[in-house]
């Protein structure tokens, strides 16, 4: 039986153009997720990848303001903090985290940034009925995605959050940012976090239920594991936010050692309705 081909994307002179920015760019999954949606739902829109280096991001930002058919773009490694600084306005979660993963170009040329990574990640785990309430979580990384996920995990009611990063100061900054958010009213589904810890040495999973890799380690199969192989064990849930490759070396190793694994794809897929609404491609705007 022949596999049904996805609907063809029909780009016209009236097409609304969206993008995704990253450095490197080859791992991104946005075009393969958004463009089939546009085609299937008859949206006259297209999403294309833009390989933009950090030093060139301000010039890119200046240039897109002149494109009258440009609607906005997704933001991924390593631009989430820098993009937030360049936005004219931020949604409340983007303000809390200081990071964005999507930007909207408004009619007046101003840019509004939002952050939905935390919502997509939590929703992806909920799809498989994994309850975050009272879980002890080891978060690997302290970048833009990790910052958003820390807020999402706290809001979902995790009991304890340990942040591990090779740069202690970055982990400390994230811990302080999350503590400030909790003090200023970020609701936790399970009540207050018992504590936020910083792990500056090799990550240890002895007292952990869930490990979340929010680093870039895994984009290449030659990358080292973000924690020692002997820390992966049965009874542990190991999640990765990397989408390409679909199964990173971390997840492959964790599965081989008897741990449960959670892939990166659901995090973006579960954000799709939120992102479409933010861009004005569904009923309502954010």
- For residues 16 and 69, what is the distance between their CA atoms, to the nearest angstrom? 5
To 10 degrees, what angle do helices 144-155 and 168-183 make? Answer: 40
- Pairing of the two strands 136-140 and 210-213: parallel
Q: Tell me which of 3, 80, 172, 177 is the catalytic residue.
A: 80
- For residues 209 and 184, what is the distance between their CA atoms, to the nearest angstrom? 27
- For residues 66 and 60, what is the distance between their CA atoms, to the nearest angstrom? 10
- Pairing of the two strands 70-75 and 102-105: antiparallel
Bridge partners (DSSP) of residue 19 are 48, 73
Bridge partners (DSSP) of residue 212 are 139, 239
Helix locations, the chain, DSSP H: 30-40, 57-64, 80-86, 92-97, 117-127, 144-155, 168-183, 249-256, 265-269, 272-278
Instruction: Specify whether the CB–CB gap between 242 and 264 falls below 8 A.
Output: yes
Active site (annotated) includes residue 80:
yes
- Output DSSP code: residue 229: G
- Output DSSP code: residue 114: E
Residue whose pair of structure tokens reads 């999402």 in the numeric block? 152
CA angle 22, 154, 253 (to 5 degrees): 60
- For residues 122 and 128, what is the distance between their CA atoms, to the nearest angstrom? 10
Q: Would you name the residues annotated as active-site residues? A: 80
């Amino acid at each position: 039986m022949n596999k049904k081909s996805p609907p063809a994307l029909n780009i016209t002179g009236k097409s609304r153009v969206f993008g995704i920015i990253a450095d490197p760019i080859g791992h991104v999954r946005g075009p393969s997720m958004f463009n089939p949606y546009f085609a299937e739902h008859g949206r006259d829109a297209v999403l294309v990848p833009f390989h933009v280096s950090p030093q060139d991001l301000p010039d890119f930002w200046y240039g897109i303001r002149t494109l009258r058919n440009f609607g906005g773009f997704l933001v991924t490694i390593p631009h989430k903090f820098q993009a937030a600084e360049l936005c004219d306005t931020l949604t409340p979660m983007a303000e809390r985290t200081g990071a964005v993963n999507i930007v909207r170009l408004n009619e007046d040329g101003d840019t509004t940034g939002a952050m939905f990574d935390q919502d997509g990640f939590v929703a992806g785990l909920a799809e498989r009925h994994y309850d975050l309430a009272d879980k002890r979580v080891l978060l690997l990384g302290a970048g833009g995605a990790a910052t958003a996920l820390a807020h999402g995990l706290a809001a979902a009611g995790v009991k304890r959050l340990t942040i591990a990063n090779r740069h202690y100061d970055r982990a400390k900054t994230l811990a302080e940012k999350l503590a400030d958010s909790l003090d200023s009213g970020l609701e936790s589904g399970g009540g207050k976090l018992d504590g936020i810890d910083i792990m500056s040495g090799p990550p240890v999973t002895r007292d952990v239920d869930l490990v979340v890799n929010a680093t870039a380690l895994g984009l290449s199969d030659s990358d080292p594991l973000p924690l020692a192989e002997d820390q992966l064990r049965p009874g542990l849930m190991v999640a990765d936010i990397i989408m390409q490759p679909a199964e990173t070396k971390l997840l492959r190793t964790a599965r081989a050692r008897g741990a449960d694994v959670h892939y990166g794809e659901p995090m973006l897929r579960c954000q799709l309705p939120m992102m479409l609404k933010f861009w004005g491609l569904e009923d309502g705007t954010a």
